[in-house]
């Protein structure tokens, strides 16, 4: 794969864009602002991934030496400039959304996201728990961004609920990723939660967040946001979530944490499918 595509982590960036698609499906609408919102989230997510790799160069030399920057396929300078270009593209999309709709909240959201993504990569990532919460918040914020792009009060309310789901599950996954990456983080003198208080307590916190989110899932059917098909498909995701919580409680070994992190990512994809199908049927 071309390193300039690989460094975007296009799968993650597309998952971000999917949040806009899901909100649009709920509203059963499509428009130029919605399409621009998809591109904005893709570019912003990609920019966050690239700038994160730029600042994480020393850590990735240990944890992920195959990535484009530590492997030398992209220089540090080119990586930084590439991130800036992606930030500009996302911000431009946000501006065009607000210009076309006359609603300047989406543009303000993108500007806020630019600042938070940069600060996260530069310094906040190494802050215990705060860094995890920021990643979760920004992931959930994609849904809220879609809601405000449509600017329908009921859709905004639904997008906030979906955003909260994504926020909680992503935060849990980020905590588990810190357990997985503890070796490289220690070498770089980072102060993540597992480094400061050990791996067991963060694992318990992550499991609690996973169970909490799983318990909230049926509410979207109960309050008639989604149909019965949502309930059937989300049950698969919930089973995977609960299984992952049990795994990380039993063992905090690096391989187990990596497996749980992957399971949660798959579970969230299944949940997104449930959101989509539930809005249609």
In this prediction, residue 102 carries a pLDDT of: 94
pLDDT tens digits, residue range 107-137? 999 999 999 999 999 988 777 888 889 889 9
Q: Which CATH number fits domain 3-280: 1.10.600, 2.60.40, 3.40.1000, 2.30.30?
A: 1.10.600
> Which ranges of the chain have pLDDT less than 50?
none
pLDDT value at residue 168: 94
Give the pLDDT score at 12: 81
pLDDT at res. 252:
92
SS (H, E, C) the chain: CCHHHHCCCHHHHHHHHHHHHHHHHHHCCCCHHHHHHHHHHHHHHHHHHHHHHHHCHHHHHHHCCCCCCCCCCCCHHHHHHHHHHHHHHHHHHHHHHHHHHCCCHHHHHHHHHHHHHHHHHHCHHHCCCHHHHHHHHHHHHHHHHHHHHHCCHHHHHHHHHHHHHHHHHHHHHHHHHHHHCHHHHHHCCCCCHHHHHCCHHHHHHHHHHHHHHHHHCCHHHHCCCCCHHHHHHHHHHHHHHHHHHHHHHHCCCHHHHHHHHHHHHHHHHHHHHHHHHHHHC
**Full-model pTM:** 0.84
Residue 188 is predicted with a pLDDT of 67
Domain boundaries, the chain: 3-280
Would you state the pLDDT for residue 63? 75
């Amino acid at each position: 794969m071309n390193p300039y595509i690989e460094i975007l982590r296009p799968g993650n960036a597309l998952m971000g864009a999917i949040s806009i698609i899901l909100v649009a499906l709920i509203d059963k609408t499509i428009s130029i602002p919605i399409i621009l919102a998809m591109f904005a989230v893709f570019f912003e997510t990609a920019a966050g991934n690239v700038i994160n790799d730029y600042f994480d160069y020393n850590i990735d030399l240990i944890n992920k030496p195959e990535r484009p920057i530590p492997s030398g396929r992209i220089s540090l300078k080119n990586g930084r400039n590439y991130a800036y270009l992606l930030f500009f593209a996302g911000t431009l999309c946000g501006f065009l959304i607000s210009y076309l709709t006359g609603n300047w909240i989406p543009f303000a959201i993108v500007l806020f996201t630019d600042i938070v993504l940069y600060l996260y990569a530069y310094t906040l990532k190494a802050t215990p728990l705060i860094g995890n919460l920021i990643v979760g918040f920004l992931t959930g914020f994609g849904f809220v961004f879609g809601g405000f792009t449509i600017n329908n009060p009921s859709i905004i309310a639904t997008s906030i609920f979906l955003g909260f789901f994504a926020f909680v599950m992503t935060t849990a996954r980020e905590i588990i990723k810190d357990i997985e990456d503890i070796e490289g983080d220690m070498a770089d003198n980072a102060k993540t939660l597992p480094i400061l208080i050990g791996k067991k307590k963060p694992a318990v916190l992550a499991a609690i967040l996973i169970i909490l989110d799983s318990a909230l899932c049926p509410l979207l059917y109960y309050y008639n946001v989604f149909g019965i098909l949502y309930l059937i498909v989300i049950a698969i995701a919930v089973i995977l979530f609960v299984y992952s919580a049990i795994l990380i409680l039993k063992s905090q070994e690096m391989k187990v944490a990596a497996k749980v992190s992957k399971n949660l990512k798959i579970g969230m994809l299944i949940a997104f499918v449930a959101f989509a199908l539930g809005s249609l049927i």
